[in-house]
Amino acid sequence: MTATDPTVGELSEGQVLEAILRQIGPSSAEVGPGDDAAVLPAPGERIVATVDTLVHGPDFRLAWSGGYDLGWKSAAVNLADVAAMGARPTALLVALAMPDSTPLSFVTALAAGLRAGCEALAPGCAVEGGDLTVSDTLTIAVTALGVLDGIPPVRRDGAREGDVVAVAGETGLAARGLGILFDRFRDAHGAPVPVDVAALRPGEADAITAQLRPTPPIGLGPIAARAGASAMMDVSDGLALDARRMASASAVTIDLSSASIGGDLAVALAGGEDHALLATFPPDAPLPPGFRAIGTVRAAQPGGPLHVDGRPFDDRAGWDPYQDWDSERG
């Protein structure tokens, strides 16, 4: 490493991704790197493919998450990326790297969670293969595949001036659950401790469940595509951050309405692990059931790609693994 060779910890996720994309060369896919999932040509169909990795430490803590929860969440976060392209999920491939001290009961619980997540969120989708290996750090890598059933993919760069910005699913509940875990269930040294269910206040159990076992509206992805969605993406890193990404990709400004978002605005804008679907629709297209309007697409405005209530929103709220995972390590 030299003075001109930064580490990934000194950069943002976007900067790291940009450096990788410069090296791997042009894509031959219909939709390549940079969206929620790739779209690959295949005889008679186009395959949507995506991959996501959950790592103990930055992504989950075993003191809070059991095997079943992790299996469910591993399925949910990948299914949401497939749905965000307007596709129907068809299969998961799971690579599991774990310490050799991992109890078999934990592994079987994880497998049961994967199956239950698929059955509940994307009926017909199942785990079709994968890989097992040993590692000092528990890591779950899932590749999800889906099909478009003859419709075009919905990209994140299709938002146009005048479109209605809408969202389906929760915004902020999972973030509230994570806040409860970090605020209330750590020891004097900051290490996570198991949740004391008896100590939970009204509503807290639902928020924690939303964090550990999210229920994104997978079935609404294809429905939104058929309803004419011009752009769509999975809200994985926060409504504000992902809306900014959509606006930047589309060369527009997204103006969100705080009144339409409702609730605790700061939490709703920063929280993303509910894996809601953020979409834009032409102004004359009725919103499909399950979506609610939360803003408008405008021509690119001074002050940046994201506005709230007509004013530039500069707060970089949201999750960036290379910028946000430091003081919470352990």
Q: How confident is the model at residue 318 (pLDDT cuts 50, 70, 90)?
A: low
Q: Please state the φ and ψ torsions of residue 198, each to the nearest 5 degrees.
A: -65, -20
Confirm or deny that 13 is annotated as ligand binding: no
Q: What is the pLDDT of residue 159?
A: 98
| 164-320 matches 29-147 in CATH topology | no
Confirm or deny that 204 is annotated as ligand binding: no
Q: What is the pLDDT of residue 29?
A: 72
Q: What is the pLDDT of residues 85-98, one digit of tens each?
A: 999 999 999 998 98
Enumerate the domain spans of the chain: 29-147, 164-320
Q: What is the pLDDT of residues 232-251, one digit of tens each?
A: 999 999 999 999 999 999 99
Residue 51 predicted with pLDDT over 90: yes
Q: What is the pLDDT of residues 59-115, one digit of tens each?
A: 999 999 999 999 999 999 999 999 999 999 999 999 989 898 998 889 999 999 999
Residue 299 predicted with pLDDT over 90: yes
Q: Which CATH architecture has domain 29-147?
A: 2-Layer Sandwich (3.30)
Q: What is the pLDDT of residue 330?
A: 35
Residue 157 predicted with pLDDT over 80: yes
Confirm or deny that 196 is annotated as ligand binding: no
CA 159 to chain centre: 19
Confirm or deny that 273 is annotated as ligand binding: yes
Half-sphere exposure of 15 (CA within 13 A, CB side): 12
Q: Say how far apart CA 328 and CA 169 lie, in whole Å.
A: 28
Confirm or deny that 183 is annotated as ligand binding: no
Confirm or deny that 311 is annotated as ligand binding: no
The percent of the chain in helix, strand and coil, each rounded to the nearest 5, is 30, 25, 40
Confirm or deny that 81 is annotated as ligand binding: yes
- Which among 33, 9, 13, 11 has a CA at the least distance from the CA of 21? 33
Rg of the chain over Cα atoms, rounded to whole angstroms, equals: 20
Confirm or deny that 52 is annotated as ligand binding: yes
Confirm or deny that 319 is annotated as ligand binding: yes
Residue predicted with more confidence, 15 or 270: 270
Q: What is the pLDDT of residue 28?
A: 62
Residue 164 predicted with pLDDT over 90: yes
Residue 322 predicted with pLDDT over 50: no
Return the H-helix or E-strand segment holding 174.
helix 173-184
Q: What is the mean pLDDT of residues 301-309?
A: 94
Confirm or deny that 325 is annotated as ligand binding: no
Angle at the Cα of 105 (from 116 to 55), degrees rounded to 5? 70
Q: What is the pLDDT of residue 22?
A: 75
Residue 33 predicted with pLDDT over 80: no
Q: How confident is the model at residue 31 (pLDDT cuts 50, 70, 90)?
A: confident
Beta-carbon contacts of residue 172 (< 8 Å; ≥ 6 apart): 239, 263, 264, 267, 268, 269, 270, 271, 274
Confirm or deny that 206 is annotated as ligand binding: no
Residue 57 predicted with pLDDT over 80: yes
Q: What is this structure's pTM? A: 0.86
**Dihedral (Cα; 228, 230, 236, 241), 10-degree rounding:** -150
Structure tokens at 178: 């994570």
Confirm or deny that 7 is annotated as ligand binding: no
Structure tokens at 327: 């003081």
Q: What is the pLDDT of residue 2?
A: 54
Residue predicted with more confidence, 18 or 117: 117
Confirm or deny that 130 is annotated as ligand binding: yes
Overall fold of domain 164-320: Phosphoribosyl-aminoimidazole Synthetase; Chain A, domain 2 (3.90.650)
Structure tokens at 74: 């591993």
Percent of the residues in the chain that have a pLDDT greater than 90, as a whole number: 70
Q: What is the pLDDT of residue 49?
A: 93
Question: How long is the chain?
Answer: 330
Asked whether the beta carbons of 211 and 178 are under 8 A apart, the reply is yes
